[in-house]
Amino acid sequence: MAPNSPFINFPNSTVHSSQVPITPLESWLPMASRAAPPPLPRRPPPRVLLLRHPHHFSLLDRPLPDGFRFLKPWESPLPLDGFLSSAEARSAEAILTSARAPVTADLLRRLPEVRLVISTSAGHNHIDLAECRRRGIAVAGAGDTKSEEVADLAVGLLIDVLRKVSASDRYVRRGLWSSEGEFALGSKLGGKRVGIVGLGRIGLEVAKRLEAFGCAISYNSRKKKPHISYPFYSNVHELATNCDVLVICCGLNEQTHHMINREVLLALGKEGVIVNIGRGPIINEKEMVQLLVQGELGGAGLDVFEKEPYVPEELLGLDNVVLSPHAAVLTPETVSNLCDLIIGNLEAFFSNKPLLSPVLDE
Amino acid sequence: MDSIGVLMACPMNAYLEQELEKRFRLFRFWQVPQKPQFLKEHAASIRAVVGSSVAGADAELIEALPRLEIVSSFSVGLDKIDLGKCREKGIRVTNTPDVLTEDVADLAIGLCLAVLRRICASDKYVRSGKWKKGDFRLTTKFTGKTVGIIGLGRIGTAIAKRAEAFNCPISYNSRTEKPDCKYKYYPSVVELASNCHILIVACPLTPETRHIINREVIDALGPKGVLINIGRGPHVDEPELVSALVEGRLGGAGLDVYEHEPEVPEELFGLENVVLLPHVGSGTVETRNAMADLVLGNLEAHFTNKPLLTPVV
């Protein structure tokens, strides 16, 4: 074969060079001179304890991902407590949980192999983060998957309360528009001063939406946020004094528990409206209910309550309140994104890559 | 001015009524037992009609009021006024634009959220105690959904601005394509409906736009599509809409207006993918007061020979 010929003489055929896939130089070297590839990790699939039935997957009829061994307490004849003491449970390297199944220090103590906790919840008040930190356990959350959806519901609830959407819909369905005439007038959203409590991912999405309706945004957060031009109030009472609407977007922790109390709500005023898409216990529910019943607070849009699924009876008869069954995240798009995120986090962690949605201490 | 006769076509606002009573000789048309008799007696003193979206001034009424000079509508919509007749007779017409734009746009988005996220249905779920037995089902995300707007006037533009804050891609249909508009234009309503998830009616009611939402458009919108009507009831072929919703051929609807208000098709009462409002698009204390002030301001201007505030004719 002539030198520089495009043809390469292979043992069993002659092949034009354009048909040969380009391979790295090292592979042309004799075998002995090449660096040996790293040995494939031979390990059993990581064991993941499911504290609750993985309803995000079952809601969409999605199978759990391959490559993991899922430990399912409900399939064991033992009660949960007994199961947690079993060798099988104690082999768990990761826990997948949701807002309804707390990851306590006690639980972590019983499962010494756990190195990762994944929660499907936007909030993480149900995880003992301090204990996780102490034990070097990584924690992953829902990341950004829920922010838009939660913000959408916050706006929807606010419009409903101010414009009496649910109340008028009930009025029409009872035939009262024909027989009684016009329903009561609502209150204009544009120009309302809206105070966001907690300007995290969700709070920012709420702010962005409400600005388009002509609302004036201000906020309270643990710390003033740099690069944010909305007016900051260092305490919630001052925020309420200067707003017509409060939207609760913060997480639940020791400081925020019952942070919204009678004083704050009175500062919001008789025409004031509160929207809660955070956690029930951020508001002193008993005090809020009393003020609503007495007409000292204008209205409320609530997706969360102190003792879900129980809603204070007194609220059930009020027209200036809109009640939502903790539905801030209940659309197929978001549930699917959440499943992808859970799988992504598991795969990342167990191939020593960074988590997709680590829960950082803010 | 209290000798100037003003005929109020229907009840519409207590504050407006009060003020008209103070400033003019007010006749309440809805309280008149025999309209022909009344008109014979009082037509000569009536120089103004105040109408609304419910009742205005049709050809018959205009003919019966030979001294009519101005029709001032407590609405932005003019479909209850015979504009041609007014022009012919040199009768001035005013409406209430701008002051209600935001409220109507707010409600359009409120309806989108209420329908897609089942806010009213879930509120009912909680009130009935069903939450104690189990969670509500999955609903549909609003953020990012394609929104198609029919009529890109003041209200349509305000709706688009709000929907954009939810990252919704916006497209529209209008009588003519708007120059320098960043939204996608579709030359027909059917094409618009085929290419959006949520279709919002925001155009004026004219003979051309009557039943602009017909069977073809509803089919194009489809079983996952949602119709929002904050325009006028007759924009929609109501029986077609009702059967499409009942049969599941249309995904959902948020309605503030109907063909025969205050009658609302009862077949819709049992559907959870529908939200039914009693024509409250401009229904806030703030806006109704502003509308009333515009009506009064226009009448005042006319009867003191000053330029009208918001003339249409």
Domain identity same for A106 and A237: no
Of A88, A131, A306, A308, the catalytic one is: A308
* ipTM entry: 0.96
Rg of chain A's alpha carbons, rounded to an integer?
28
Residue B140: is it exposed, middle or buried by C-beta count within 10 angstroms (0-12/13-18/19+)? buried
Query: Cβ of B119 and A160 within 8 Å?
Result: yes
Nearest to A185 by CA among B286, B259, B272: B286
Cβ neighbours of A220 (radius 10 Å): 24
**CA torsion through residues B295, B297, B301, B306, sign:** negative
In a domain? residue A199: yes
pLDDT of residue A39: 61
Q: Same domain, yes or no, for A127 and A160?
A: no
Same domain, A159 and A278: yes
pLDDT at A35: 62
Residues A181 and A137 in one domain: no
Is the domain of A303 the same as that of A181? yes
**In this model, does residue B214 exceed pLDDT 90?**
yes
Give domain status of residue A56, yes or no. Answer: yes
Task: Render pLDDT for B7-40 as a digit per residue (tens, 0 to 9).
Answer: 999 999 999 999 999 999 999 999 999 999 999 9
Nearest to A163 among B107, B166, B263 (CB): B107
Is residue B1 predicted with pLDDT exceeding 80?
A: no
Give CA–CA dist A359/B299, Å, rounded.
63
Work out the number of other CB atoms within 10 angstroms of the CB of residue A115.
16
- Residues A154, A54, single domain; the answer is no
Query: Residue written as tokens 């609903």?
Result: B139
Q: Measured between beta carbons, which residues in chain B are less than 8 angstroms from residue A162?
A: 284
B135 contacts A168? CB cut-off 8 A: no
Count how many pairs of residues, chain A against chain B, have C-beta atoms within 8 Å.
177
Task: Give the one of A171, A188, A330 whose C-beta lies nearest to B278's C-beta.
Answer: A171
Residues with pLDDT less than 70, chain A: 1-42, 360-362
Select from A59, A61, A176, A213 the residue whose CB has the most chain B CBs within 10 Å, as the one to mutate to test that interface.
A213
Looking at the structure, do residues A55 and A112 belong to the same domain, yes or no? yes
Residue pLDDT, tens place only, B151-172: 999 999 999 999 999 999 999 9
Cβ neighbours of B101 in A, within 8 Å: none
Identify the pLDDT of residue A40: 59
Task: Look up the domain containing A235 and give its range.
Answer: 147-323
Q: Which of B106, B275, B280 sits opposite A189 (nearest CB)?
A: B106
For residue range B238-283, list pLDDT tens digits in order.
999 999 999 999 999 999 999 999 999 999 999 999 999 999 999 9
pLDDT computed for residue A330 by the predictor: 72
Question: Tokens 């004026």 map to which residue?
Answer: B204
Interchain CB distance below 8 Å, A334 and B141: yes
Of A183, A214, A309, the CB nearest to B278: A183
| Residue A266 within a domain | yes
Instruction: Find the CATH number of the domain harbouring A68.
Output: 3.40.50.720
Q: Please check whether residues A178 and A312 belong to one and the same domain.
A: yes
Asked whether residue A104 is domain-assigned, the answer is: yes
Q: Do A59 and B125 make contact, defined as CB atoms within 8 angstroms?
A: no
Is B284 an 8 Å CB contact of chain A? yes
A138-140, strands of its sheet edge to edge: A69-71, A47-50, A94-97, A116-119, A138-140
- Both A151 and A125 in one domain: the answer is no
User: Are B119 and A165 a contacting pair at CB < 8 A?
Assistant: yes
By residue count, chain B amounts to 313
Tell me: the pLDDT tens digits for A225-274?
999 999 999 999 999 999 999 999 999 999 999 999 999 999 999 999 99
Res A362: pLDDT: 43
The verdict on a CB contact (< 8 Å) between B283 and A309 is no
Domains of chain B are 5-98+286-303 (3.40.50.720), 101-276 (3.40.50.720)
Q: Do A169 and B283 touch (CB under 8 A)?
A: no
- B252 to chain A, closest Cα gap in Å: 15
Domain count, chain A: 2
- Residues 239-268 in B contacting A (C-alpha not used; CB under 8 Å): 261-264
- Look at residue A122 in the predicted model and tell me its pLDDT: 79
Q: CA–CA separation, A246 vs A206, rounded Å?
A: 11
- For residue A284 the two structure tokens come to 């002193």
Q: Would A80 be classed as within a structural domain?
A: yes
pLDDT at A361: 58
Q: Test A188 with B144 for CB contact under 8 angstroms.
A: no
Does the beta carbon of B237 lie under 8 angstroms from any beta carbon of chain A? no
The residue in chain A having the minimum alpha-carbon distance to the alpha carbon of residue B123 is: A323
- Quick check: B103 pLDDT over 60? yes
Q: For residue A153, is it within any domain?
A: yes
State residue A10's pLDDT score. Answer: 47
Interface test with B, best of A146, A157, A188 (most B CBs within 10 A): A188
In a domain, A16, yes or no: no
Q: What is the pLDDT of residues A16-53, one digit of tens each?
A: 545 544 555 545 555 555 566 666 566 789 999 999 88
Do A279 and A310 lie in a common domain?
yes
Q: What is the pLDDT of residue A235?
A: 96
B71 pLDDT higher than 90: yes
A193 and A245 together in one domain: yes
With respect to residue A6, please indicate whether it lies within any of the assigned structural domains.
Answer: no
Cβ separation B277–A168 shorter than 8 A: yes
Answer yes or no: do A253 and A343 share one domain.
Answer: no
User: Chain B contacts of A144, Cβ < 8 Å?
Assistant: none
